[in-house]
Amino acid sequence: MFNFASNDYLGLATHPAVMQAACDTIAKQGLGSGASRLISGDAPLIHQLERELADWKGFEDCLLLGSGMLANIGLLQALADRHTQIFADKLNHASLVDGVRLSGARCQRFAHLDMHQLEALLQKHPAERRIIVSDGVFSMDGDTADMSRLIDLAETSDALLIIDDAHGTGTVGPEGRGLTALGGIAGNPRLIEVGTLGKAFGSYGAFILGSAEMIEGLRQRMRTLIYSTALPPALPAAALAALNLIKQGDLVQQLHGNLGLFRKLTSKLSLMPSDSPIQPLPVGEDEQAMAMAGQLKQLGFFVPAIRPPTVPEGTARLRITLSAAHSRQEITQLAQALESFV
């Protein structure tokens, strides 16, 4: 089937240069890293990738971890405790939700993208330490947070801002550098950004970006880094190859072209507002969403139905994701199949 469900937004998971970089590294260095980073698993390729990601994204330093889940849980546990007040978007990713819970911090959740409510909550809840936490591109809706407004609120309320831009990195902003670059806030000393190698980079792993002082503190305090086996060297090698391809710009432009084509061909559909590769089609009831996904499967398209508890009750949807690897013909045929449901 044609896969319109993957987060491999640039088709790099199967790019020959990316695969070859991984294979060459396995042939020279073996597969596993053998230990945690603070023992003997701290491969030079990890440090090279951290330097190049920090330079590309416009931050002082970078810390590479095993996954986005490990990054967000470890980050929030390292920064927050019972004296901390966290302010979180209600539609944040599960890794952020769990990180907040495990940190022991008090948490105020604000309505999705509601900056007025967030401002009111910041004024109402003083604390020794305050942290605003939000996704950049939201994974089930495809919409985006207001970077400039969030950093303004962080500065005026003396708070840190954590942005998980897993779905924005490689897909939005100048050169695909993500929402923080698009919003002009990359490198702000109050900003900590989390990204992933498992989506647009076509690999596996995650990274945290911030000031040099912040990253060094996390390196010494993050339990999910200290007590986890380091990534196999083949994965940062693949990510370095992917980063070089992303910097060239052709794949990012191809993705945006495919997105524009899809939006044009589906103009009659009630797609949710999204400028990201995530293009959800709201259906409502679970049974109807499942039936539509089944019909698409019979036509050769993999577009899964997303249902509660992943999304709220009554908001089941088809979650369509676009890639630079999709052809115009595939996108056109999918659009025709979707229009048959209207």
pLDDT digits (tens, 9 = 90+) for 262-312: 999 999 999 999 999 999 999 989 999 999 999 999 999 999 999 999 898
Residues 199 and 327 in one domain: no
Answer yes or no: do 213 and 68 share one domain.
yes
**Residue recorded with tokens 């025709």:** 336
Is 167 designated active site? yes
Among the listed residues 199, 276, 323, 326, the single catalytic one is 199
Give yes or no: residues 96 and 21 share one domain: yes
pLDDT at residue 195, rounded to an integer: 98
Query: Which among 67, 95, 134, 139 is annotated as catalytic?
Result: 139
Place of tokens 């209207």: 342
Domain carrying residue 264: 249-339
Domain match, 54 and 33 both:
yes
Same domain flag for 140 and 286: no
Same domain, yes or no, for 41 and 187? yes
- My answer on whether 237 and 295 are in the same domain is no
Residue 59: pLDDT over 70: yes
Whether the Cβ atoms of residue 72 and residue 259 lie closer than 8 Å to each other: no
What is the predicted pLDDT for the residue at 340? 87
Please work out, in degrees rounded to the nearest 5, the angle formed at the alpha carbon of residue 125 by the alpha carbons of 119 and 126. 105
User: Whole-angstrom Cα distance, residue 233 to residue 33?
Assistant: 6
Instruction: Among 226, 247, 268, identify where a domain stops.
Output: 247
199 given a catalytic annotation: yes
Mean of pLDDT over the chain: 96
Q: Is 297 a catalytic residue?
A: no
Is 7 within the bounds of a domain?
Answer: no
Does some domain include residue 215? yes
Shared domain for 124 and 191, answered yes or no, is yes
Single out the catalytic residue among 15, 57, 167, 326: 167
What is the C-alpha to C-alpha distance for residues 216 and 253, in angstroms, rounded to an integer?
35
> Considering the domain boundaries, does residue 4 fall inside one?
no
Residues 291 and 164 occupy one common structural domain: no
What tens digit of pLDDT does each residue of 229-259 get?
999 999 999 999 999 999 999 999 999 999 9
What's the CA gap between 37 and 225, in Å, rounded? 7
User: What is the count of structural domains for the chain?
Assistant: 2
Q: What is the pLDDT of residue 342?
A: 64
Domain for residue 302, yes or no? yes
pTM metric for this prediction: 0.95
Reported as type and span, the H/E element at residue 341 is: none
Looking at 212, 231, 247, the residue that finishes a domain is: 247
pLDDT at res. 334: 97
Same domain, 222 and 278: no
Report phi then psi at 98, rounded to 5.
-70, -35
Whether residues 272 and 131 share a domain: the answer is no
| Of 198, 140, 133, residue with least CA distance to 169 | 198
The CATH number given to whatever domain includes residue 296 is 3.90.1150.10
Q: Give yes or no: residues 28 and 52 share one domain.
A: yes
Indicate which CATH number applies to the domain containing 118.
3.40.640.10
CB-based contact 161:150 (threshold 8 Å): yes
Domain boundary among 200, 222, 247: 247
